[in-house]
Structure 1
Amino acid sequence: MNDFRTLQYYISQTKANPTCPEDYYEEGYMVLRQCISDGQAVLSSNFNASDSTTSGANGEREKAQLQRIMLDASARRFQAQKIYLRSVAATRWANSRAVILQGQKPQAGHFPLLQATDEGLRAVSLWIERPLSG
């Protein structure tokens, strides 16, 4: 639970607005805004504590409910970890972009480096979103 709280804290500290308004729709900034939105959705989603399928003694019901709670907490932590990794990749993208541009507007000479940075962000995003092999 502490790890989940730490992840949520870091996600909430993410800055999603570029210094230049014309960069607002750049891929990395859109990813950052999506991470903030996804983090808020994970945190605000409700846990359904009632389950009418478990019958039997109180001990069995409590055990089943505890298992559901643990499963829900694990799933939320996993979602938060993926969101956090995406936000770190997008923040790294924004920092790389700032280093490449050095306060200038994008020009033709910047294109290869900016394109490589964009492709790096896409590659990391694909890696994070890949299905788990079982």
Structure 2
Amino acid sequence: MKSRLAALTASLVLAPSNCFAYTPTSSPEGMYRTFEINYKDMALATCITTAYKYDVNVGIDAGSSVSALRDWTYYDMEKSPLAVKALVEKYLARDYTNPLAESQIKGIKFDLLKCLDMYHSKELDALTKKVVTDPNHTYMQNIKKP
């Protein structure tokens, strides 16, 4: 699974960089999403970055996504970084041992599944409500139109 994810990441990274410049559908859509959604997406990307930190391609791509999402979200910078880190570490520490899968793939940890569980958790919902400023607002609402 890691090799497939790495191959996908590499193909996206190696794609021509000007492919994002032409149409709205070829650009990232995060700037149009609410701060609440972007905050949760940032937490998910942080979890993936942490889980796959030893896979350079995945780590670079996920880390870059975290940076972009930070730009498109307004939240309490004092409380958030440590709170997200603690939540990510809590979920990645879970033991999702599956003897059947382990017999086929040694050392499998189901880290992506843990990240998805964190993403859908009540804990992330509560943290988002606590730290996100104006959760229904979007980054694009701050951009002045000519």
TM-score by length of 2: 0.29
Q: Which has the higher helix share?
A: 1
TM-score, normalised on structure 1?
0.31
Determine which structure has greater relative contact order: mean sequence separation of CA pairs < 8 Å that are 6+ residues apart, divided by chain length.
2
Query: Which protein shows a greater Rg?
Result: 1
